[in-house]
Amino acid sequence: MNMMKTRPFKQVDVFTAQAYAGNPLAVVLDGSGLDDAAMQNFAKWTNLSETTFLLPPTEPTADYRVRIFTPGSELPFAGHPTLGSCHAWLQAGGRPKAPGRIVQQCATGLVPIRQDGERLAFAAPPSRRSAPSPSLLAKVAAALGLKAQQIVAAQVLDNGPVWFGLLLADADTVLALKPDHRLLKELGQKVGVAGIPERDDQPSPALISRSNREARAFARSDADDIALEVRAFAAPIGVEEDPVTGSLNASLAQWLIPEGHLPAHYLAAQGQCLGRAGRVHVLRDDDGQVWVGGDSVTCIDGKVSL
């Protein structure tokens, strides 16, 4: 106890403009002098999906460095900790080297973040994807209670965190899922499931060919319409369902936009089944870079002894 130091601390709700409707994040604004064990122990104690520790950067172009911990392990990158940590850093008086652009250093590398008013958006890191084996797909589908005809497409997505990604025939099926989390844990698979809501003027994506890609990209007139419903099941890391998941939404965008399932600019919803109202703003720019953005709200502002 005598070795403890009082450090500035915030708890931030991410991917929401309304407090307690998004995904909470614990942020220790001064992680200097803490070893891996101390960081991991505190992350386990907060019992949030992620806890971050801010440190001086070691890369000359970075504004700050962040380490990201779940209750059980360290992550090389994660989306909602990126936005929440940046929000906390700016609110605590952080000044980026370039106005309107922040560069975060994490284990994955340098992650650019841009400001659009109060909203922040990170540049999605490169994502690798591959087709899952048919046997593993069948096991994951069984753990989710899905039939083969309900699955439009499947990919293993990797942008640091690895997600078994599934696109389902519609959003209602996504929201109705009741996974067997024990089986998902045994399989060692974090699973991200997405579905496109049906509209009166737009049939299910399973019925639309890729040749209609351009027509679908401009099918919606209301920019606030939800274009994708997302759920994230992460039993292998002790989180049965994550409220709102930036890394998963980034990988989904990098997969589904080029495949023609979604337009280059859309709004995703996540967390409804947990009583949350997460909103993820996705944009693929003219250079092909995917930006994942959202609002953040500080719910706790104080100090912690560590």
Q: What pLDDT digit, counting tens, does each position of 81-114 carry?
A: 999 999 999 999 999 999 999 999 999 999 999 9
- In this prediction the pTM is 0.89
Kindly tell me if the per-residue pLDDT of 79 is higher than 90.
yes
Tell me, yes or no, whether 188 and 74 share the same domain.
no
Do 120 and 145 lie in a common domain? no
Higher pLDDT, 238 or 219: 238
Q: How many domains does the chain have?
A: 2
User: Same structural domain for residues 117 and 137?
Assistant: no
How far apart are the C-alpha atoms of 283 and 4, rounded to whole Å?
A: 43
- Is residue 256 within 8 A of residue 194, CB to CB? The reply is yes
The answer to whether residues 92 and 159 belong to one domain is: no
C-alpha span between 287 and 47 (Å, rounded):
39
More confident residue, 117 or 192: 192
**CATH number of the domain where residue 265 is located:** 3.10.310.10
Section 187-197 average pLDDT: 97
Q: Which domain holds residue 93?
A: 6-124+294-305
Residues 6+ apart with CB under 8 A from 86: 102, 104, 113, 120, 122
Same domain, 239 and 167: yes
Q: Are residues 118 and 12 in the same domain?
A: yes
Residues 261 and 143 in one domain: yes
118 is catalytic: no
Specify whether 108 is located in the same domain as 185: no
63 and 142 both lie in a single domain: no
User: For residues 252 and 228, is the Cβ–Cβ distance under 8 A?
Assistant: yes
**How confident is the model over 256-287, as pLDDT tens digits?**
999 999 999 999 999 999 999 999 999 999 99
pLDDT at 201: 53
Same domain, 110 and 162: no
* Whether residue 155 has pLDDT greater than 90: yes
Predicted confidence (pLDDT) at residue 218 exceeds the cutoff of 90? no
Residues 22 and 144 in one domain: no
- Structure tokens given for 99: 């106005």
